[in-house]
Chain A
Amino acid sequence: MTDATARLRAGTPRYLLVLPALVPLALVFVGSLVRLADLGLRPFRDGRIGTGVTTDNLRRFAEDPYTWRVLGDTVLLGVVCALVTVVIAYPMALALHRLRSGALRALALFLIFSPLLTSVVVRAYGWNVLLGDGGVINQTLREIGLIDSPLRIMYEFPAVVIAMVHVLLPFAIFPLLGVIAQVPRSALEAAYDLGAGRRQVFWRVTFPLTRHGVVLTWQLCFALTISAFATPALLGGGRVQVLSGLVYTNVGAVDWPMAAVQSYALLVLTLLLVGAVNLAFRITGRHSR
């Protein structure tokens, strides 16, 4: 702690400064989660939400094989999308880091940033145009005679992955760029001076020093994927179901207690993953960089 910080501390209402943020957080965010938990424990019979406390909804959730299949699909989608995203984002971040031309770099950064400026709904429409049966990709492939009948991409798992990875990429490239930029130049120079080749330097210096960031980025992408709603709904067309879609359907069908339990299942899934990754870091001792 610097001397100046210590002096600033004296006599300043430091808790008061947090209040404008904490009050809405407590009221809306914490309040919402409490209400949601309460709702999940309410009985639901004959299409009505009753009073009292019950674990019926938890049992209904656990005993429904369909829910478990959707849960499995959600996790699978999260794992695949996060993995594909990191595999694409890492080389892009590395290439961006190595780019020397300032203008090219600025242009690339802008293009990576540009999808964030358009709604996910707009992008889903764009993928519709590209991937549909009569869409750009299928028509082009047919034109050059590679296929006779259109490839079924739209409203299937691949379409959701393609669109979801597109949504995730900016969220992965920017943090990875930061992580790669932190690799000290001296470490690379030392490795080269000791006679290492390009490949060796990457696998034995650059990659190990950025591994932590890679795992954190993967974790973020997983969390973003399993809670995404609009993209899987629009590109999966009901055929690819994820948990967030079930929540939405159940809200429409007035089975709010079930929707609440499913929302909590999503939350638990996210927390489990965050906990598992943190634990793994602690065990391997890489948590403190």
Chain B
Amino acid sequence: MAARSEARTGMSDRNRPLTIAVLGLGLAYLVAPLVFVVVNSFNDSSYGGWPPPGFSLRWYERLADQDGFLSAALVSLVVAALAALGAVLAGTAAAVSITRFRYPGRRLIESLLLAPLIVPKVAIGLGAFILFLQAGFYGRDGALVALHLVLLLPFAVNIVGGALVRIPPVYEQAARDLGAGPVRAFASATLPQLRRSLLAAYLLCFMISFDEVDATVFVVAPDQVTLPVSMYQYLQKYQDPTLAALSTVLIGATFALVAVVLATAGASATAGLQGGKGRTR
């Protein structure tokens, strides 16, 4: 019985070539621009002419001479690290509140927490720029972190909330019954089960912040340009493969990081992208 329905509802041999072809074409489309960025970083032609006239490492040498990218990368790393940390901490507390408790206004709070996903980034970016300017906060160290934190909150709430719904509260209650305070009960009974989701949430938030252009481009002061914004500005002026070399370095670094991460928290990160279905019951 099991074998028969497997053959019917699963994949039959007749469909296999089609399945592979659909997936193959789609994946080729997804990977193509990345592959050609890497290939082009070794292109000797200065305008990235095709086919490459020769192999060259000179774009990597030129990249090493540009200190603008390095300082921008440092800004991006610091902003992403702090904003992701803030978003995961605040997002976890909020997720605990809206998944573990019932109170009036809970739905409203949940909608507000997820609202930055719907509002266009351009609107948030421009609004934040005006707000920071009038509050004397523009150009301060915390300005970008504050903006990114708000943009990241929905993702953190989604991932952690989605995980919390799957963890029964009985363990925590048992800890309470054995005399633990609410914080200790949460830390000893629920937190260990949340570890992977917290890691996934942090990494996803970090990546989103590290990549953010649409809102950031309005808020950055000239001396605090982030890496994607500086790449954006560079690409508007020049089209030479220096950017390809930089991109290749970035691709290499992220892929190395991800190889490690996928082994530990991959499933939860995917769940986060699926929107944390059934967050509230």
Chain A: residues with CB nearer than 8 A to chain B? 1-2, 4-5, 7-9, 12, 14-15, 17-22, 24-25, 27-29, 31-36, 39, 88, 91-92, 94-96, 98-100, 108-130, 132, 134-136, 139, 163, 166, 169-171, 174-175, 177-178, 185, 188-189, 192, 198, 223, 226-230, 233-234, 244, 247-248, 251, 256, 259-260, 263-264, 266-267, 270-271, 274
Q: What is the CB-to-nearest-CB distance from A218 to chain B, in angstroms, rounded to a whole number?
A: 14
**Complex-state Cα separation, A95 to B25, whole angstroms:** 12
Counting CB contacts under 8 A, is B180 at the interface?
no
Contact B247 A125 (CB under 8 A): yes
Which residue of the partner chain B has the closest CB to A165? B29
Q: Mask for B136-167, Cβ within 8 A of A = 1, else 0?
A: 00000000001101100100010000000000
> Which residues of A have CB within 8 Å of B68?
none
Contact call A28/B118, Cβ cutoff below 8 A: no
Q: Contacts of B116 on A, CB cut-off 8 Å?
A: 25, 29
Chosen A-B contacts, 11 in total, with CB atoms closer than 8 Å, are A4-B170, A25-B116, A28-B147, A32-B128, A32-B130, A125-B33, A188-B9, A192-B5, A223-B120, A260-B130, A266-B122
CB atoms of B122 and A22 under 8 A apart: no
- Beta-carbon contact of B15 and A198 below 8 Å: yes
Interface flag for B90 (CB, 8 Å): yes
A114 and B214 within 8 A (CB): no
A129 to B50, CA, bound (A): 8
Q: Which of A5, A223, A259 contacts B169 (CB 8 A)?
A: A5
- Residues on B with C-beta less than 8 A from A192 are 5, 8-9
**Choice from B5, B90, B168, B247 contacting A4 with Cβ under 8 Å:** B168
Are A174 and B33 in contact, CB atoms less than 8 angstroms apart?
no
Q: How far is the CA of A116 from the CA of B31 in the complex (A)?
A: 11
Q: Return the contact of B127 from the options A226, A263, A270 (Cβ within 8 A).
A: A263
B225: interface (CB < 8 Å): no
Interface: B97 (CB within 8 A): yes
| Besides A7-B176, A18-B98, 20 new A-B residue pairs in contact (Cβ under 8 A), listed by A number | A8-B169, A17-B97, A18-B94, A22-B109, A24-B86, A25-B116, A35-B127, A111-B30, A114-B255, A118-B211, A118-B247, A126-B247, A129-B36, A130-B32, A166-B30, A228-B214, A230-B228, A244-B120, A260-B126, A270-B118
B57 adjacent to chain A (CB < 8 Å): no
Q: Taking A98-B10, A230-B214 as contacts, is the C-beta distance between A112 and B153 under 8 angstroms?
A: no
A267 contacts across to B, CB distance below 8 A: 119-120, 123
Most buried by A among B51, B113, B120, B211: B120
Please name all residues of chain B whose beta carbon is closer than 8 Å to the beta carbon of A229 when the two chains form the complex.
Answer: 121-122, 213-214, 217
Q: Which residue of chain A has the shortest Cβ distance to B275 in the bound complex?
A: A175
Measured in the bound complex, the distance between the Cα atoms of B228 and A229 in whole Å is 13
Interface residues of B in 16-75 (CB under 8 A from A): 18-20, 22-23, 26-27, 29-34, 36-37, 40, 47-51
A92 and B244 in contact, given A20-B89, A134-B49 (Cβ under 8 angstroms):
no
CB pair B131 A263 closer than 8 Å: no
Q: How far is the CA of A244 from the CA of B131 in the complex (A)?
A: 19
Complex CA distance for A196 and B34, rounded to whole angstroms? 43
Known: A22-B112, A266-B120. A35 touches B9 (CB 8 A): no
Give the A-binding residues of B (Cβ under 8 A). 5, 8-11, 15, 18-20, 22-23, 26-27, 29-34, 36-37, 40, 47-51, 86, 89-91, 93-94, 96-98, 100-103, 109, 112-113, 115-116, 118-124, 126-131, 134, 146-147, 149-150, 153, 157, 168-170, 172-173, 176, 182, 207, 210-211, 213-214, 217-218, 227-228, 231-232, 235-236, 239, 243-244, 247, 250-251, 254-255, 258, 262, 266, 269-270, 273-275, 277
Residues of chain B with a CB closer than 8 A to A21's CB: 90-91, 93-94, 113, 153, 157
CA distance A219 to B249 in the complex (A): 35
Cα-based distance from A256 to B133 in the complex (angstroms): 13
Say how far B29's CB is from chain A's closest CB, in angstroms: 7
With contact pairs A21-B90, A122-B243 given, residues A139 and B51 touching in the complex (Cβ less than 8 Å): yes
Chain B residues whose CB sits within 8 angstroms of the CB of A171 once the complex forms: 273
The listed residue (B26, B102, B129, B243) touching A92 by CB distance below 8 A is: B26
Which B residues are CB-close (under 8 A) to A260? 126-127, 130
Q: Are A15 and B244 in contact (CB under 8 A)?
A: no
Instruction: Note all chain A residues with C-beta closer than 8 A to B47.
Output: 134
Contact A5 B36 (CB under 8 A): no
B5 and A185 within 8 A (CB): yes
* Contact among A94, A170, A270 for B120, CB-based, below 8 A: A270
Are B182 and A12 within 8 A (Cβ)?
Answer: yes
> How far apart sit A269 and B270, CA to CA, in the bound complex (Å)?
29
Task: From known contacts A118-B251, A119-B231, infer whether A5 and B274 are also in contact, taking CB-CB under 8 Å.
Answer: no
Are B277 and A178 within 8 A (Cβ)?
A: yes
A38's closest neighbor in chain B, by CB?
B130
Task: Report Cα–Cα, A128/B234, bound state, in Å.
Answer: 14
A185–B5 Cα gap in the complex (Å)?
9
Residue among B50, B172, B239, B275 with max Cβ neighbours from chain A (10 Å):
B50
A23 to B26, CA, bound (A): 42
